[in-house]
Structure 1
Amino acid sequence: MTEGDGELTGWDFFISYTQSDRAWAEWIAWLLEEDGHHVLVQAWDFVPGTHWVQGMQDGTTRAARTIAVLSPDYLTSVYGGAEWQAAWAADPAGRDRKLLTVRVKECERPGLLANVVGIDILGLPEAKARARLRAMVMRAMAGRAKPTSPPAFPGGRAIPRETRFPGALPTVWNVPARNPHFTGRDRDLKALAEGLAAGSPLTVHSIRGLGGVGKTQLAVEYAYRQTAHYDVVWWVAAEEPTAIPDQFARLAQRLEVETDPDPETLRVAVHEALREVPGWLLIFDNADQVEQVRPWLPAVPMPPGVPGHVLVTTRRSGFSALGRVHDLDVVEPGEAVDLMRARVPTLPDEVALQIATELGRLPLALEQAAAYLDQTGMSPTEYLHLLRTRAPELYSRGRSVHRQETVATVWELSLERLTADSPSSVQLLDVCAYLAPEPIPLDMFTGHHQRLPEPLASAARDPLRFNDAVAAVVDYSLAKRTESGLQLHRLVQAALRRRHGRQAPDIDESTG
């Protein structure tokens, strides 16, 4: 740029934009002038008394380069089109890099613009957007984009992996102890492995299901079976969101990254360190809400050849916002027998199947039953009789070594939260607790709302409110919604009856 008679005779950059993108144009202009460039931008330079069409003419002819701020509105603007076309016509071969493009909103680059190399800053945090804009300007002015550091060797994996002996755990590892009695779930494990392997380099899968169905145990088993694919496997207890930063700080120490008390700085540091790891797996166990986990997931894709996988276990709905959700159900009859036999090898087939049926093939209940039989030496037939006559008392006896909860307590926290959030939903569960453990038609409630207690009665009269009540029950995995209606696991029903301090009646398929 030169000056004559006190007036500017040229600029380094002319910002071409439409009024809907004025904020972007001013942001770009401010950044360029901070770096010492002289910029012509309508918002600042077309002051009262000036002729704006002449200003456009000056910009396209007297600026060394034009920066077109691309958006859907800009691409339909007559004047925007005239400005970028003038810059293109002055340098059709692009040798002088007179036309630069910055896309700030989702849009296609039509016609001649499709052949102009530009940058995107839509969706980027400000620091990255600033760095990308400055890099574009520097490269355009230099005419070359040689990096300041040598590129990685392109042969083989993008990041070399250290050789490990078969069965050896990754260097960075904090997964809970493996369950020596883990049985079955082959289809679920295969589905998880294939889903993660088939996804993008950064893939998130959630395992969702009823409390006690074995989500955590499935995640633990997956981690142990897939150790050969990862160099970092880190377990995060996610039920208390306030504890997540401390667990990431410990991961940062293991990755030899400087920790920082600021959670945002800590997240960025760990995520950047993971980009240098040949393969990693993060497991967020027992997450309650998507918003509590999402900030801790790396926001940018991993480099080629670097699998970054995330597993989340949860009882709650909504995690499809992060990626695929694997709904975990109770085990098959044969798997239920095998699970109990891992602790009680002499358990007869017929009695084992009857115990599994009484317990609804829920893994936690099966582990409790096997543990109780193992600890007491009671005959399986006697246990089955007690289960049919004094089930509520047995539900608190026998413990899995891998969790503190029992069938008597595993759903207490969910029920407490639901009671606070949606009293009508708890009343809905209470009524269902005394019906058969088969799909319960929802019109039984909406068609007879006058016979229901408040506030469930009012909710049943309003389709939207009733749907909200049902959705809350399903959200906490306390029931499943099927085409036939609402279905509760028989042990959830028993827990609800016990919660009321009443003796639960014998579970009978014909009860209704």
Structure 2
Amino acid sequence: MPEAAESVFVSYVGADRAWAEWVAWHLREAGHRVELDVWDWRTGDNFVERMDHALGRATAVVALFSSSYFDRARWTREEWTSAVARRRRLVPLTIEPLDGGEVPDILAAVIRKDLHGLDEQAAITALREAVAGPTGPLTAPPFPGTTGAAAPSVDAGGVRPRLPGGAGLPEVWNVPRRNPHFIGREATMTRVREALLAGRQAVVQALHGLGGIGKTQLVLEYAHRFASQYDTVWWIDAEQADQIPVHYTELAARLGIAAPGAGTGHTTRTLIEHLRTRERWLIVLDNADEPGAFETLLPTGPGHVLITSRNPGWKDLVPSHGLDVFPRGDSVAYLTTRIPDIATQQADSLADGLGDLPLALAQAAGVITTGMTPDRYRRLLNDKTTRLMANGAPPGYPAHLAATVDIATARLSNAHPQATELLRLAAFLGPDPIPTAWLETTVGRLATLTVDPDDFMWPQSALQHLSRSGLARVDHETFQVHRLTQAIVRDHTGEADATAAEDDVTTLLTAIAPSDAVDPVGWPTWAALTSHLTADLHTAAQHPPLHETLIRAARYLCVSGQSRAARDLTAALHPLWINALGEDHPDTLGIAQYLGHATTDLGTDAAARHIIEDTLERRRRVLGPDHPDTLNSANDLAITLDNLGEYEQARRLHEDTIKHRRRILGPDHPGTLTSANNLATALFGLGEYEQARGMHEDTLERRRRVLGPDHPETLTSANNLATALFGLGEYEQARG
């Protein structure tokens, strides 16, 4: 290693990775120690820690200045500011022309070296001089009297990166125009690039995901970003597999290897054989949805193949990457970049309504920038989803989302009607994952699903077709339909079919709901169920069989500590049921009880008191003073009075409630034991420690026997007894 060797950290943005690889490779070849994140950091490493350590070790930080480098949302800001703060030598290299205002004032006086616009040899010289100081020529100057020969081609397999952008686009190139609004996906881009560089033989990578997820946009960005690393880049619309030989024949003609008069089959074989002996080529098969049709059509050799598909079946044939919706941060970044003056909170709300789907975000940005406010678009999205999603296809996308869904559902309906039935049912559930076990449990009870009782592969066969069509994301336990796809399918469902689907959803959710909302054994089911119960409360309010399930869901949210969710659910349902059922209906009073519960749990006892007193008065009048529901409300009011400091009144109400519960329900009923626990707690608050201790001991023994030692209410009694013992000074016994 030369004496002047530096320890170099390369600072860059993801869009400039090709430049970073080229710079790092040539600096290492020159003898410098170079740290590049995508070469030297492992999956799972803490990015911030690795960056901090790398900057601590570096004697020089090479910063690749581009228009994206100074974006405030980039980590590059932390990198160059840390380099300045640590007094590390900053080596700025500009890789594209910059406006004067893009570079921060603190860096304006730092001498920069331009790499853009140079040929590769000049760029290598400029790079090495920037890091190590001026050097002599790297190659022998050509004899002045003759024209020098062309430089030899670089190594096969992408071992030595080419100068990015140095030679423009490859000579053989038919890629569509770059999307100027592409954003995000850097982690996926990195995984794809690393996988393609992992071997010297043909490397095939497939990206699969829902329609509108941005598969084509990611591959399009890859092709443009790394164009300089290829001699040939050929883009093929692969939706019709039988047309691939025609596209291969076009490529063969561009490469000059197509024999005159030869058929497409012969020319395809000639092309595949030719690519086996060539290097630096990229074939893109866009929208290749039938993996089985490509067995003999995938090129081999030291080049790259990228496939986009809705069909996850590619993962059985080639390495694949499943593409999901945008992370919320990318959605917000996209909207704030595309829409002038949109507030971050507005962008977040809009992204939430659009389910972070890239195509939907692009459509929304297109509409809003032509004269609609973000808030109005968000409001219209609630009940005009399909019309909004039918409003123009953004540049780079073949169709708007509504058309994309319509085409896919039409194909599915013609070929796989069972899958279409399942899609329609899912459209009337919530947008969260749906456990496939729910379908297996309720098979035969759902009128909208045509299922052969002897078909042991249902629903897996229907889900497989849904997945292949790109209309649902399926894993081994759940399936999920995007919220916008659901809305479009619902809008295109006739009134009779919609009513039947809503009835089946009611049947499904009531059948799945655990009978006990307090027992933690059922909480995982409640956690999955609640989001579907609450997806459309207006519809749920019109289906009385769901009312009891919704009331139990509210109780589950209360007892599991999800007080805000419980308050939101009950506060939404209560006025709906008042209008539909009346203020004194048992279901209205049931949801009012848990509205009071949740309000108390959130610490607003004064507001809770009004709700609980009103519910208690109505229940006494409608149900009678001894009804279990009336006693539930009396118990709730006693707790609220205790919280408000009205201890004697709370005590009297607790004593009256437990007396009624013992007589009506029995001494060991869970409700009676709840009152016993609450009365004992109130006694402890009044300083009657011995009496409180006795009641807590009795309640704990009964709960252990009735509910079991691990039930939450049993553990509550154990904790309360320990508190009472501590208050009596029996510290060791309380500790044990």
Give TM-score scaled by structure 2 length: 0.45
**Equivalent in the alignment of 1:442:** 436
The answer to whether 1:389 aligns with 2:387 is no
User: 1:110-509 maps to which residues of 2 (within 5 A)?
Assistant: 157=155, 166=166, 168-259=168-259, 260-299=261-300, 302=301, 307-375=302-370, 377-453=371-447, 456-458=450-452, 462-482=455-475, 484-501=477-494
**Equivalent in the alignment of 2:693:** none
Give TM-score scaled by structure 1 length: 0.63
Give the counterpart letter for 1:493 in structure 2: Q
Distance 2:352 2:155 in 1: 50
In structure 2, relative to structure 1, the CA distance for the partners of 1:155 and 1:416 (3 Å cut) is: closer
Q: Is the 8 A contact 1:439 1:482 kept in 2?
A: no
In structure 2, relative to structure 1, the CA distance for the partners of 1:455 and 1:382 (3 Å cut) is: closer
Q: Is the 8 A contact 1:424 1:454 kept in 2?
A: no
Greater displacement, 467-476 / 351-360: 467-476
Q: Is the 8 A contact 1:284 1:312 kept in 2?
A: yes
Greater displacement, 273-282 / 423-432: 273-282
**Equivalent in the alignment of 2:682:** none
Q: Is the 8 A contact 1:282 1:311 kept in 2?
A: yes
Give the counterpart letter for 1:421 in structure 2: A
Give the counterpart letter for 2:535 in structure 1: S
Distance 1:389 1:318 in 2: 35
Residues 214-260 of structure 1: CA deviation (Å, up to 9, x unaligned): 00001100111111221100001111223322221221111111245
Q: Once the 2 structures are TM-superposed, how far is the Cα of residue 166 of structure 1 from its aligned partner?
A: 2.2
Q: Is the 8 A contact 1:208 1:313 kept in 2?
A: yes
Distance 1:155 1:510 in 2: 60
Distance 1:258 1:391 in 2: 50
Higher relative contact order (CA 8 A, sep 6+): 1
Q: Is the 8 A contact 1:206 1:325 kept in 2?
A: yes
In structure 2, relative to structure 1, the CA distance for the partners of 1:324 and 1:230 (3 Å cut) is: same
Q: Is the 8 A contact 2:209 2:312 kept in 1?
A: no
Give the counterpart letter for 2:329 in structure 1: G
Q: Once the 2 structures are TM-superposed, how far is the Cα of residue 321 of structure 1 from its aligned partner?
A: 4.0
Q: Is the 8 A contact 1:159 1:277 kept in 2?
A: no
Residues 71-127 of structure 1: CA deviation (Å, up to 9, x unaligned): xxxxxxxxxxxxxxxxxxxxxxxxxxxxxxxxxxxxxxxxxxxxxxxxxxxxxxxxx
**Equivalent in the alignment of 1:103:** none
Greater displacement, 320-329 / 190-199: 320-329
Instruction: Flag the structure with higher strand content.
Output: 1
Q: Is the 8 A contact 1:451 1:457 kept in 2?
A: no
Residues 446-477 of structure 1: CA deviation (Å, up to 9, x unaligned): 22223223653336x63313221122212223
- Count of residues in correspondence between the two structures: 350
Give the counterpart letter for 2:342 in structure 1: L
Q: Is the 8 A contact 2:426 2:486 kept in 1?
A: yes
Q: Is the 8 A contact 1:317 1:476 kept in 2?
A: no
In structure 2, relative to structure 1, the CA distance for the partners of 1:200 and 1:499 (3 Å cut) is: farther
Give the counterpart letter for 1:298 in structure 2: P
Q: Is the 8 A contact 2:338 2:365 kept in 1?
A: yes
**Equivalent in the alignment of 2:5:** none
Q: Is the 8 A contact 2:157 2:303 kept in 1?
A: no
Q: Is the 8 A contact 1:433 1:497 kept in 2?
A: yes
Q: Is the 8 A contact 1:205 1:325 kept in 2?
A: yes
In structure 2, relative to structure 1, the CA distance for the partners of 1:508 and 1:410 (3 Å cut) is: farther
Q: Give secondary structure in 2 for the equivalent of 1:223.
A: helix
Deviation >6 Å, runs of 4+: 159-164
Q: Once the 2 structures are TM-superposed, how far is the Cα of residue 501 of structure 1 from its aligned partner?
A: 4.5
Q: Is the 8 A contact 1:174 1:233 kept in 2?
A: yes
In structure 2, relative to structure 1, the CA distance for the partners of 1:164 and 1:358 (3 Å cut) is: closer
Q: Once the 2 structures are TM-superposed, how far is the Cα of residue 429 of structure 1 from its aligned partner?
A: 1.0
Q: Give secondary structure in 2 for the equivalent of 1:458.
A: coil
Q: Percent sequence identity over matched residues?
A: 35
Q: Is the 8 A contact 1:341 1:370 kept in 2?
A: no
Q: Once the 2 structures are TM-superposed, how far is the Cα of residue 508 of structure 1 from its aligned partner?
A: 8.9
Q: Is the 8 A contact 2:363 2:400 kept in 1?
A: yes
Larger CA Rg, structure 1 vs 2: 2
Distance 2:153 2:400 in 1: 53
Distance 2:317 2:200 in 1: 13
Give the counterpart letter for 1:181 in structure 2: H
Q: Is the 8 A contact 1:369 1:398 kept in 2?
A: no
Q: Is the 8 A contact 1:204 1:322 kept in 2?
A: no
Distance 2:270 2:220 in 1: 26
Q: Once the 2 structures are TM-superposed, how far is the Cα of residue 298 of structure 1 from its aligned partner?
A: 2.4
Give the counterpart letter for 1:190 in structure 2: T
Q: CA RMSD in A?
A: 2.8
Greater displacement, 256-265 / 388-397: 256-265
Greater displacement, 481-490 / 333-342: 481-490
In structure 2, relative to structure 1, the CA distance for the partners of 1:440 and 1:165 (3 Å cut) is: closer
**Equivalent in the alignment of 1:140:** none
In structure 2, relative to structure 1, the CA distance for the partners of 1:175 and 1:509 (3 Å cut) is: farther
In structure 2, relative to structure 1, the CA distance for the partners of 1:261 and 1:341 (3 Å cut) is: farther
Give the counterpart letter for 1:510 in structure 2: A
In structure 2, relative to structure 1, the CA distance for the partners of 1:486 and 1:272 (3 Å cut) is: closer
Give the counterpart letter for 2:297 in structure 1: W
Distance 1:416 1:510 in 2: 26
Distance 1:183 1:155 in 2: 33
Residues 343-370 of structure 1: CA deviation (Å, up to 9, x unaligned): 2132111111111111100000000000
Structure 1 residue ranges without an equivalent (≥5): 1-153
Q: Is the 8 A contact 2:287 2:310 kept in 1?
A: yes
Q: Is the 8 A contact 1:206 1:312 kept in 2?
A: yes
Q: Once the 2 structures are TM-superposed, how far is the Cα of residue 413 of structure 1 from its aligned partner?
A: 2.6
Q: Is the 8 A contact 2:299 2:305 kept in 1?
A: no
Distance 1:167 1:181 in 2: 24
Q: Is the 8 A contact 1:159 1:276 kept in 2?
A: no
Structure 2 residue ranges without an equivalent (≥5): 1-151, 503-531, 541-736
Q: Is the 8 A contact 2:425 2:448 kept in 1?
A: no
Distance 1:345 1:508 in 2: 37
Q: Is the 8 A contact 1:425 1:456 kept in 2?
A: no
Distance 2:356 2:156 in 1: 45
In structure 2, relative to structure 1, the CA distance for the partners of 1:308 and 1:159 (3 Å cut) is: closer
Q: Once the 2 structures are TM-superposed, how far is the Cα of residue 414 of structure 1 from its aligned partner?
A: 2.2
Instruction: Flag the structure with higher helix content.
Output: 2
